[in-house]
């Protein structure tokens, strides 16, 4: 059966890119998009009221994700980036149905899984939320491209709350990281995928644990490059915008989000409370 060819001729390069996550984690993806695509307007929705998604039911994650997607479509976004592994693992198909082919949808699991599959990796570890690990999507996606790769997934549920509470470079996070990474499931891995967009905020501490023994995958960079290639393919790249606008919507205003978003995007960011 032939796949229907995508037609995005109704979209304009001047429209913003929509990005969403349960909280601050998606900012790691947004920051990389900003670096790689410096002329793009960005609209970010952080569902801080409902985090962490990793502890929620699949039905709840689908409800939150589709509501946010519809909100971003109402904001005239030309692409939707699901900057959340848990939302991708549980609600990608539902988001695609909501979008109904109107704009491209970029997720954070499939581009990473595909890249890892075609590089030299034999034993891959994935750390992620319970909901992402339970979905098994990383293992399925990687092995779809390369059935010889061994994939071990470990749920690491304490990391997101620790990050959202601002415990970066703190004895608490050091203890949590040591406890998780020393788990026997990850004993023989050569590569580690940070299967949650919050986790790159702890990448230095994770790399410190491993030294040079394990390669840690930079997922936000892979996702941002994938987004760029999609926008380029459909002539939707904006390179004529000297003063891009970054607008952040939160379902609950939190100090940690304000702190990290200002660090990534500068002091003039626009934060707005929006309960859907």
DSSP SS3 for 124: strand
Is 77 labeled as catalytic in the residue annotation?
no
Q: Which helix (H) or strand (E) holds 249?
A: strand 246-250
Long-range contacts from 201-208, C-beta under 8 angstroms, 24+ separation: 201/24, 201/25, 201/28, 201/163, 201/168, 201/260, 202/159, 202/163, 202/168, 202/173, 202/177, 204/169, 205/168, 205/169, 205/173, 205/174, 205/177, 206/177, 206/181
Q: For the chain, first and last CA: distance in Å?
A: 38
Is residue 19 a contact partner of residue 29, using CB atoms and an 8 Å limit?
A: yes
| 85 labelled ligand-binding | yes
| 197 labelled ligand-binding | yes
Residue 65's nearest CA partner among 49, 88, 44 is 88
| 209 labelled ligand-binding | no
| 46 labelled ligand-binding | no
| 86 labelled ligand-binding | yes
Is residue 201 a contact partner of residue 29, using CB atoms and an 8 Å limit?
A: no
| 22 labelled ligand-binding | yes
How far apart CA 165 and CA 52 sit, in angstroms, is 12
Is residue 33 a contact partner of residue 197, using CB atoms and an 8 Å limit?
A: no
For the chain, the helix, strand and coil percentages under 3-state DSSP, each to the nearest 5: 45, 15, 40
Per annotation, catalytic residue among 196, 230, 250, 260:
196
E strand residue ranges, 68-130: 79-82, 105-106, 123-128
Per annotation, catalytic residue among 11, 79, 80, 84:
84
Residue 142's nearest CA partner among 119, 111, 114, 120 is 114
| 21 labelled ligand-binding | yes
- Per the annotation, binding residues for substrate are 21-22, 53-54, 85-86, 197-198
- Per the annotation, binding residues are 21-22, 53-54, 85-86, 197-198
Residues annotated as part of the active site:
84, 196
């Amino acid at each position: 059966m032939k796949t229907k060819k995508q037609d995005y001729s109704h979209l304009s390069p001047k429209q913003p890119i929509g990005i969403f996550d349960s909280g601050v984690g998606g900012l790691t993806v947004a920051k990389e998009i900003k670096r790689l695509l410096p002329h793009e307007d960005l609209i970010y929705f952080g569902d801080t009221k409902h985090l962490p998604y990793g502890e929620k039911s699949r039905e709840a994650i689908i409800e939150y994700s589709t509501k946010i997607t519809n909100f971003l479509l109402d904001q005239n976004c030309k692409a939707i980036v699901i900057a959340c592994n848990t939302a991708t693992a549980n609600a990608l198909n539902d988001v695609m149905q909501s979008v109904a082919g109107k704009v491209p949808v970029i997720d954070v699991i499939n581009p990473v899984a595909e890249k890892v599959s075609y590089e030299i990796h034999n034993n891959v570890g994935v750390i992620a939320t319970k909901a992402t690990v339970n979905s098994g999507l990383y293992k399925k996606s990687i092995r779809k491209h390369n059935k010889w790769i061994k994939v071990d997934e470990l749920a690491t549920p304490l990391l997101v709350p620790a990050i959202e509470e601002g415990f970066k470079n703190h004895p608490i996070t050091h203890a949590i990281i040591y406890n998780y990474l020393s788990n026997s499931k990850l004993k023989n891995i050569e590569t580690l995928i940070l299967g949650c967009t919050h986790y790159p905020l702890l990448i230095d501490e994770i790399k410190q644990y491993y030294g040079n023994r394990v390669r840690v995958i930079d997922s936000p960079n892979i996702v941002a490059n994938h987004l760029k290639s999609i926008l380029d393919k459909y002539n939707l790249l904006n390179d004529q915008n000297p003063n891009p606008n970054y607008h952040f919507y939160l379902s609950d205003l939190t100090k940690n989000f304000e702190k990290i978003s200002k660090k990534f995007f500068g002091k003039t960011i626009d934060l707005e409370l929006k309960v859907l």
